Structure 1
Amino acid sequence: MTYDPTGHLLLTPVDQEAPARVRRLRQLGLGERPEPAFDAFADRLAEVTGAPYSMVNFIDENRQFFAGLHTPTGLHSGADLGAVASSGAVSRYMDRDHGYCPHVVVRRKALVLEDVCDYPRFAGNPVVDEIGIRSYLGAPLIDRTGTALGTICVVDTEPRPWGRAGLETIKSLAAELVEQIHRREEGRL
């Protein structure tokens, strides 16, 4: 974990597994382009949880990529989340130091933040001030090689009582998507 010299408690955790993850993502052909199947999965995540935003997110050393994305507009655009490329163009990419998915990947465990402002460690994240995110529910996508490829997650601009039911739902859906990724890989062989 790194610390912000301006006094914020948390930045993004150190990710020792990122190079291996990038190799595995490239082997699977994931993390470089949006995919309709992942957009459909993100739509389903939003429907099941009632969340306005949901993502299938793959993470490399420097950024996050929303291969699947659901937003309230239904346009599968990162604009609603403030995912903006350095050129100012709307993108499905977000800096690695934004959001909570990098924490889930490094921890290799699901994370429930019913109100991110209740947790000083997470309240200082740029997505709180820049986008207005107030709640998060995410789980890692750990494939058969033991690699944490990324996450699935849902977020809201209001606090949400996800509870144990939300935790079990997100973990179950993550396992389902990992199986889908495995079937996709087997189809290529």
Structure 2
Amino acid sequence: MTMITPVELAPNESLRMNIVRRYSILDTPPDGAFDRVTAIAARLLGTPVAIVSIVDTDRIWFKSHHGLDAQQIPRDSGLCASAILQSGPWLVTDARHDPRTLANPLVAGEFGLQFYLGVPLHTHDGFNLGTLCVLDTQPRTVTQEQIDTLTDLASVVMDQLELRLSAMRSIAEKEAALNHSHLMAEEIDHRVMNSLHLIVSMLSIQSAQLGHSEAAKEISRAAAKIFAVANVHQHINIGKAATTLDSADYLVQLCAGLSTMLVCGDQVAISVQAVPLSLASEQLSQLGLIVNELVTNALKYGASKVKVQFAPYQDQCCLTVSDNGRGLPADFDVNKMSGLGMKVITSLVKNLGGSLSHERDTDLSGTAFRIIFPPMMSSRHPLS
């Protein structure tokens, strides 16, 4: 029975393993970039096998294995574990006559390894993750040029690992920044809602103190308007707890709040015609912002009737906001508008992956804005 000599560990092995984990490379799927390197290495050095290996605590895992079916081997039987203890290439030209490898099971066993050349995958901060190595079952010699070629290819492997690490860090930083912005937005929303409700409470108390006077009625009307503002704000900023919502119910409640907030008397009407589709709350939140901008703009420029329509359109969704206002100038172009409102609308439409168009409305004789976008929805209400 072949005896396996315990593998020598580097003095900084625990630190080295921390660096291995830093790259998050172990057990990742195959990658064409590494596979191309091993194919080139085998071709240039004329060997049947080439491997990109990462030396783990108890195994040698193969990120790429050209000419070999195995995905990993025990650490104590792999020559890569010895190669990472070197600062440069580790060469065995005839393993069956080399005292360093005589007892190795890959050499003495069925595989019959006789040639090995491994170049450490050296990080910028001085640690060896594994190797780029070439193997053969026949003894062979190599030139310095071939060793230099494998060394250069090992540097290409490290460049790929560094790029991968940089990309992961960039994504993590962006996700952290996005999460922070979401937390800040939620905090602002929370404070806005608290402030609005506080104002409503103070006005209600003041109205009650004034009894049935005309001033009390005006204060009550003001409190109702502010309460409506709070409701609209709450609908536009849907919380993360709701993953999907009924679009029809959402738009009806939103427009009811807008009507209370924006309309004085009975001379203005905001109507809603919506098919009950179940959409992602993220999409409905953006639709709410679009409806808020379009309805507010329509009333601002003299419309007395606004109609909000929402329905399936082929395999997509269609939101239409039309009014009976004075219409748009002949040369109107949403992409050339300097106003903040239209910039917000076009940005939201882009986020939805949709398109924005406008035309003269034949029913109300004003303007109709139309947004068509692909839905993100649950299976409760499929588009038909």
Match of 2:124 in 1: 144
Match of 1:38 in 2: 34
For 1:123-134, what aligned pairs fall within 5 Å after superposition?
123-130=102-109, 131-134=111-114
Counterpart of 1:175, as a letter, is: S
Q: Deviations over 1:19-59 (max 9, x none)?
A: 22332222212122342232222222112211101100001
2:20 counterpart of 1:29: no
Counterpart of 2:94, as a letter, is: D
2:62 counterpart of 1:66: yes
| 1:141 alignment partner, SS class | strand
Paired residues in the alignment total 167
Given the alignment, which residue of 162, 177, 198 partners 1:182? 162
Q: Is the 8 A contact 1:11 1:125 kept in 2?
A: no
| 1:150 alignment partner, SS class | strand
Match of 2:69 in 1: 77
Counterpart of 2:61, as a letter, is: F
Q: Which moved more, 1:11-20 or 1:38-47?
A: 11-20
Q: Is the 8 A contact 1:34 1:66 kept in 2?
A: no
User: What TM-score do you get using the length of structure 1 for normalisation?
Assistant: 0.79
Q: Which moved more, 1:42-51 or 1:13-22?
A: 13-22
Match of 1:107 in 2: 86
Structure 2 residues not aligned, in runs of 5+: 171-384
Q: Matches of 1:34 and 1:64 in 2, distance apart?
A: 16
Q: Is the 8 A contact 1:110 1:139 kept in 2?
A: yes
Match of 1:48 in 2: 44
The 1:7/1:28 distance shift into structure 2, 3 A limit, reads closer
Q: Which moved more, 1:9-18 or 1:155-164?
A: 9-18
- CA apart distance, 1:10: 5.0
After superposition, the CA RMSD in angstroms is: 2.1
- CA apart distance, 1:156: 0.1
- CA apart distance, 1:9: 9.4
- CA apart distance, 1:62: 0.8
Q: Which moved more, 1:115-124 or 1:96-105?
A: 115-124
Counterpart of 2:133, as a letter, is: C
Identical-residue share of aligned pairs (%): 27
Q: Deviations over 1:95-126 (max 9, x none)?
A: 11112111111123211111112312212211
| 2:130 alignment partner, SS class | strand
Q: Matches of 2:66 and 2:29 in 1, distance apart?
A: 12
Given the alignment, which residue of 90, 93, 99 partners 1:120? 99
- CA apart distance, 1:153: 0.2
| 2:145 alignment partner, SS class | helix
| 2:101 alignment partner, SS class | helix
| 1:16 alignment partner, SS class | coil
| 1:97 alignment partner, SS class | helix
Q: Matches of 1:41 and 1:183 in 2, distance apart?
A: 15
Q: Matches of 1:120 and 1:95 in 2, distance apart?
A: 21
Q: Is the 8 A contact 1:138 1:152 kept in 2?
A: yes
Q: Matches of 1:9 and 1:24 in 2, distance apart?
A: 27
Match of 1:167 in 2: 147
User: What TM-score do you get using the length of structure 2 for normalisation?
Assistant: 0.41
The 1:179/1:134 distance shift into structure 2, 3 A limit, reads same
Q: Matches of 1:19 and 1:55 in 2, distance apart?
A: 24
Q: Matches of 1:11 and 1:163 in 2, distance apart?
A: 31
Q: Which has the higher contact order (CA 8 A, sep 6+)?
A: 1
Given the alignment, which residue of 128, 138, 145 partners 1:158? 138
The 1:19/1:35 distance shift into structure 2, 3 A limit, reads farther
